[in-house]
Structure 1
Amino acid sequence: MLTSGFDHVAVLTADLDGFVAFFQEVFDAEVLDCRQELPAGMRMAFLKVGPDAEFNLFQLDGNDEAAKQLPMFSRGRMDHFGLRAASMSDFETIRDRLIGRGASDGFVTDFGPVFSCFFVGPEGLEAEVCVANPDWKPGDVVNSPGTPARRFHPEAA
């Protein structure tokens, strides 16, 4: 196996602060970042819920998806999921395979704590593979989506 499990689950919420508070209070979850530089009407937070597990939370003005709490097996598809590569070498192998299949353009985002490569899987489901950034240290900046990883895109330096 080239992955060590799921990296995160992306969740749409109508109450970002309430979602964060619940998981902090019940599970001792840690807020990694709350973005302020996102487009108007959007809020985002990374909520660490385990050693290698996060919720990526999104609150969007006018989006009512969070209110559509349907019974199990009637909820439809999730937004996306992230797989955690077991090592940098495995991440590079997976990325090469995705490019080879035409499932990814190979762009790697430097989010700070992790590198991320999005891909389109079966039936058009978007997902990503992530790996710990060996150069990031706690307290360093957490980057915005689309920040090129210099390790993979030296021309962006």
Structure 2
Amino acid sequence: MPITGGINHIATLTPDLDRLIRFYSDAFEATVTFEMAAEGDHPRMAIIDLGAGGALNVFEVPDESIIGARRTLGGRGAIDHFGIAVDSHATLAGLRERMVAAGAETGEIQKLGGEWSLFFRDPDGMELEVCAPSGPDDPA
């Protein structure tokens, strides 16, 4: 058994912190637990609580300083995407509707191994995934 307790946070970059906060608030009901203004060499940043101890640490930087093609596999850097956990297929289906309403591009919910998966793009075009365990009451 691993000695770790899962992922604490993932740090990411955006050219528009307010827009990204609004998206995660609208789609995921996430809350900002910490925010700081730009100071010296440190950019403006916010910690967005995704629940269950996981968070996004988001830094606001000029768009031209974000390296890589966020829409191209292999062009997104060493970490291609991250997955956000939800508790069920029903939650995942409801979340898909919320994400579309909040302006995300989404794929279809699909079964990958023993879990359900939904890929989406956030307002910055970064590809992410939401995962839910499969259960006996799930659709066929």
Calculate the TM-score normalised by the size of structure 1.
0.44
Calculate the TM-score normalised by the size of structure 2.
0.49
